[in-house]
Structure 1
Amino acid sequence: MRMDLMLLCLAYVLSQFFRAFLAVLTKVLEIDVGAMPADLAFASGLWFLVFAAMQIPVGAALDKYGPRRTSAILLLVGGGGGAALFAMASTPLHISVAMGLIGVGCSPVLMASYFIFARTYPPARFATLAALMLGVGSFGNLIAAYPTAWAAETIGWRATLWVLAAISAAISVGLWATVQDPAPAEGDAKGSVLDLLKIPALWLLFPLMFVNYMPAAGIRGLWIGPYLSDVFSLTTSQIGQATLVMGVAMIVGTFAYGPADRILKTRKWVIIGGNLLGALGLIGLTLFTDSSAIRAILMMSVVGFCGASFPVLIAHARSFFPEHLTGRGVTLMNLFGIGGVGIMQFGSGKLHSAIAPTSPLLAYQSLFGLLAGLVLLGALIYCFSEDRMD
């Protein structure tokens, strides 16, 4: 593993951390800043939507300027600056603005590594390399779980965020110094996202790309905390342990998906099978919402494991991209994947706020049921896609 890829992976650890750590800080942010679950859902959704919106300019920047400048500058300004702003937050609005800025900082790091993989390594290895980067980077999920709860209780959440701001700045400097930009694509071909949208095969992938990451990211990144607190009265430390279990499941799932397409000689059916199993986990959460905390954590772990088809879906789409539009292509798919999570976080916050005052249990049942239905619908449309291997 090259040094530049190792630093990009470390930057992605931060990205995974920032999208998931709010779940652990639910109680302390409510006490110190007055941020309710709906406020945190809004802030989390803003992170995902800003992250998604940035994929279009990030894709253009990767193709034009390369991953070095794109990743280093955005991580320094957005990641470091956003974490510092979060550390000084005194209202829910400050948290939302900080999360949006952090979304800007995190937006290029995974796609920069995918860009390097797509332009430097054999196409048949893209899914494995993409899953490896995603899996190793997902250790940020673990840091955002119990260790964050411990840090918040030991040195305070503000000091924790200041440390993260410093780490973000240090990594950005390392990216500037070490990232190697791939050689430009051969020829003078030019294009835009509009050229990608003219490829019919991609339109059968977009719906599942839009919904496949919603359940794992939405539950792990936010709702696991309020759910386990409201329904089972778990403490911050216990919620940290639960998120740790789900985070491990998501990492294991990513590594399991990585080589599966080459072993089974199919991408389409690997993705369909995994998403159907994830939908079953969501249905279980809907039907047995308050039966047992352990059962709920296990079912959420199934959702996390099966919701890791993200890199294989991008590899499937990658097989349809022209080489000179690689940066725009991978970021377009990421826009759908992360944008779907952002929209769902906004919607889930409103859904929870509307139902929870009269029936907290029904609010979570509605949330899990909606997620199950969306995944099943996306998988149904995806069934008509062309299965393509490199």
Structure 2
Amino acid sequence: VSDHPEGGAGAGGGGSHGRTVQGLAALRVLFKTRDYWIISVGTCVRYGILAAFQVLWAGPYLMETMGLSPLAAGNMILLLNLGLITGGPLWGCISDRVLKTRKWIVILCLGLAALLTFVMGLLRQGAGVWTLGPLFLGFGLLGASGGLMYTHIKELVPLEMAGTAMTGINFFTMMGPAVFLQGWGYFMQALHPEASRGIEAFQASLFACAAFLGGVSVLYLFTREREADIR
């Protein structure tokens, strides 16, 4: 533990007031950065759909529309979680050592997640675990790529702004489930008030989620790869 540097708090830019001014200046710069908003929207949609499906809507979808038993439905959700657990280090390794890109891996995973979600919307009642299992495992693997979005924004801003940028991204990540958990149910209720948890309601909601994921994958094309690209 050390005391203030020589010169006291004034040498650090006016103590707490100076740090507040610097923090607000960093926020102004961040809010003017196009990449920040694109990545924020991307992580909001990605994690919002993933979390809403994982923690709430996957169970009713599997049991009430696909006809799985509670045990089989739990196993499918377990596969999704295994995909999430293994996907994080997998995408990190591929990003750092093989492809050496954050942007294009995120775009690929968002696009493939849109495709998988669309396919799940096409399934009819009675689809077995051998069909649903790979889809759920793949959805988890692809969802795990969201960690690269934090690395991506960190590499797009000066080092002294990295913490602010990642905190800002995390706010939108957490807002995603707040929106999609409720929005998913309202959407199905509005479209099919008499059968809001029927197969048609789930198909429509999954198609809508696929459209959201596809849209943000296209939007992500307009981000830059790293800070070196904008110097």
Partner of 1:387: 225
Match of 1:224 among 58, 67, 71: 58
- SS of 1:307's partner is helix
Partner of 1:208: 42
Return closer, same or farther for 1:368/1:297 CA change in 2, 3 Å cut-off: farther
Larger-Rg structure:
2
* Secondary structure at 1:382 match in 2: helix
Task: Indicate how the Cα distance of structure 1 residues 350 and 282 shifts in structure 2: closer, same or farther if over 3 A, else same.
Answer: same
Name the residue aligned to 1:243. Answer: 77
Check whether the contact 2:67–2:126 (CA below 8 A) recurs between aligned residues.
Answer: no
1:253 equivalent to 2:99? Answer no
Structure 1 segments unaligned to the other structure (5+ residues): 1-185
- What SS does structure 2 have at the residue aligned with 1:261? helix
One of 84, 91, 101 as aligned partner of 1:266: 101
Greater RCO, 1 or 2 (C-alpha within 8 Å, sep 6+):
2
Alignment match, 2:195: 358
Aligned residues: 205
Matches within 5 A, 1:107-256: 188=13, 190-192=22-24, 193-256=27-90
Distance 2:12 2:112 in 1: 44
CA deviation string 1:280-337 (max 9, x = no partner): 1011011114351312343222222111121101111011334444333212101112
Structure 2: stretches of 5+ with no match in the other structure: 1-10, 14-18
State the secondary structure of the residue aligned to 2:29.
Answer: helix
Structure 1: which amino acid aligns with 2:127? Answer: S
SS in structure 2 at match of 1:195: helix
Q: Paired residue for 2:122?
A: 287
Q: Which secondary structure does the structure 1 equivalent of 2:138 belong to?
A: helix
Asked if structure 1 preserves the Cα contact closer than 8 Å seen for 2:83 and 2:144, the reply is no
Query: Residues 242-290 of structure 1, C-alpha deviation per residue, up to 9 Å, x if partnerless?
Result: 2111111121222211122222121111111111111110110111143
TM-score in terms of structure 1 length: 0.49
Q: Distance in 2 between matches of 1:319 and 1:382?
A: 15
Query: Is the CA contact 1:289–1:365 (under 8 Å) kept in the aligned structure 2?
Result: no
Q: Deviations over 1:215-268 (max 9, x none)?
A: 322211111111112113433333222211111112122221112222212111
The change in CA–CA distance for 1:282 and 1:356 in structure 2 (over 3 A counts) is farther
* CA distance in 2: counterparts of 1:322 and 1:191, whole angstroms: 13
Match for residue 135 of structure 2 among 299, 306, 310? 299
Whole-Å separation in 1 of the counterparts to 2:137 and 2:152: 25
Give identity over the alignment, percent. 25
Tell me what 1:308 maps to: 144
